[in-house]
C-alpha cells in the first residue's frame, strides 16, 4: 500500500529554491521557457500578467490577516513628514547652533507639528487598551499606511500596548520603508494604490485622518466618496486637528454651489483630542 504524501513535504519541485536563487543572483534575469510559471519573475512582471499580479496583491494581505484574526481595524492616516517630538527637538537644537535660516524655520515647523505625532500615538494606545482584553471578534486593530510620521506614531502606540498592528505600505521612488512598529507578520507592501486602498476599507470600522498632504487627502476622499455613494457602509470619519482641516477646506462653498448636500457634512466630524476621537467611535458603535 502506498504511503500517503505528507502535505508539509516539498511538492513544488523546489520552485522556491529556484526563485530564491534568482533573487540573489547578480546576473541579469533572462526569459526561460523551462522555468515554472509561478517561479518566474520575468514572466510575472510582464504587462500581460498584470491581472495575476493584481489578484495576488488582493489575496496575500487578505489571507494573512484572516489567519491572524484581523477582522476589524481603525485606520489612521496622516503626514509622513511629521516627526516624533524627540527627533524634532534634536533637529531644532542643531538648527539653532547653525546659521541656516531655512533649516531653522523647518525645524521650528517640525516641533510645532510633532504634537500630532504624540496625539496619534496616544490615540492608538487608547484603542489598543480597549481592544486587548476583548474577545477576538470584538477586537479593533490599528492599521496605517506603514510609513513614518503619523503612521509610525499610530503603529508605535498600539505596539507599546502589546497589540498587533497593521501596515499597508506602498512602493514609491522617494519614500522611506516601513516603520519599525508594525507587527512583522502584518507588514504588507503594495504596488497598486487601488488594491491598497481597497484593503484599507475592507476591515475599517473607522477612519481617523490627522493633518497630511496629497496622499492623506486621496485616502480621505476615497472613504468619504464610498460612504456618501453608499458603496461602503457608514463608518466614523474623523478629522483630527480642527484648525488644520477648516483652514484647508471650506465645505460651505460646496453646499452653496449645490455640489454636495448639507447632510453630506454629517459624514465627518472634527476632534482635537485623542480621547474625543475614541469617544466618537465608541458612540457610533455604542461600545
| For the chain, domain boundaries | 70-84+114-285
> Under CATH, what is the fold of the domain 70-84+114-285?
Rossmann fold (3.40.50)
Q: What is the pTM of this model?
A: 0.88
Instruction: Answer yes or no: are the C-beta atoms of 142 and 164 closer than 8 Å.
Output: no
Sorted by sequence, the CB contacts under 8 Å of residue 78 that are 6+ apart come out as: 116, 120, 149, 150, 151, 153, 154, 209, 210, 211, 212, 216, 240
Q: Which helix (H) or strand (E) holds 237?
A: strand 237-240
pLDDT in tens, the chain (287 residues): 445 555 445 555 455 565 556 555 555 667 788 888 887 888 888 899 999 999 999 999 999 999 999 999 999 999 999 999 999 999 999 999 998 999 999 999 999 999 999 999 999 999 999 999 999 999 999 999 999 999 999 999 999 999 999 999 998 877 668 999 999 999 999 999 999 999 999 999 999 999 999 999 999 999 999 999 999 999 999 999 999 999 999 999 999 999 999 999 999 999 999 999 999 999 999 99
Instruction: Answer yes or no: are the C-beta atoms of 176 and 146 closer than 8 Å.
Output: no
Q: Which helix (H) or strand (E) holds 92?
A: helix 85-97
- For residues 226 and 264, give the distance between their C-alpha atoms in angstroms, rounded to a whole number: 12
Amino acid at each position: 500500500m502506498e504511503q500517503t504524501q505528507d502535505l508539509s513535504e516539498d511538492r513544488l519541485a523546489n520552485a522556491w529554491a529556484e526563485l530564491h536563487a534568482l533573487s540573489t543572483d547578480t546576473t541579469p534575469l533572462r526569459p526561460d521557457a523551462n522555468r515554472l510559471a509561478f517561479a518566474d519573475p520575468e514572466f510575472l512582471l510582464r504587462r500581460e500578467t498584470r491581472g495575476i499580479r493584481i489578484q495576488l496583491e488582493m489575496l496575500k494581505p487578505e489571507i494573512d490577516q484572516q489567519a491572524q484574526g484581523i477582522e476589524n481595524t481603525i485606520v489612521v492616516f496622516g503626514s509622513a513628514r511629521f516627526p516624533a517630538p524627540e527627533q524634532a527637538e534634536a533637529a531644532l537644537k542643531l538648527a539653532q547652533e547653525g546659521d541656516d535660516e531655512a533649516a531653522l524655520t523647518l525645524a521650528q515647523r517640525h516641533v510645532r507639528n510633532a504634537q500630532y505625532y504624540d496625539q496619534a500615538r496616544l490615540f492608538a494606545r487608547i484603542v489598543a487598551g480597549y481592544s486587548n482584553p476583548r474577545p477576538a471578534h470584538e477586537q479593533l486593530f490599528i492599521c496605517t499606511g506603514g510609513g513614518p510620521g503619523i503612521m509610525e506614531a499610530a503603529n508605535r502606540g498600539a505596539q507599546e500596548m502589546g497589540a498587533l498592528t497593521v501596515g499597508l505600505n506602498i512602493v514609491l521612488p522617494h519614500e522611506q520603508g516601513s516603520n519599525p512598529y508594525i507587527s512583522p507578520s502584518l507588514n504588507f507592501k503594495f504596488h497598486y494604490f487601488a488594491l491598497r486602498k481597497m484593503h484599507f476599507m475592507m476591515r475599517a470600522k473607522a477612519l481617523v485622518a490627522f493633518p497630511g498632504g496629497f496622499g492623506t487627502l486621496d485616502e480621505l476622499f476615497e472613504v468619504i466618496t464610498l460612504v456618501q455613494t453608499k458603496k461602503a457602509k457608514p463608518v466614523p470619519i474623523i478629522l483630527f486637528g480642527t484648525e488644520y482641516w477648516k483652514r484647508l477646506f471650506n465645505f460651505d462653498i460646496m453646499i452653496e454651489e449645490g455640489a454636495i448636500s448639507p447632510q453630506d457634512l454629517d459624514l465627518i466630524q472634527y476632534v482635537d483630542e485623542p480621547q474625543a476621537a475614541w469617544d466618537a467611535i465608541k458612540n457610533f458603535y455604542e461600545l
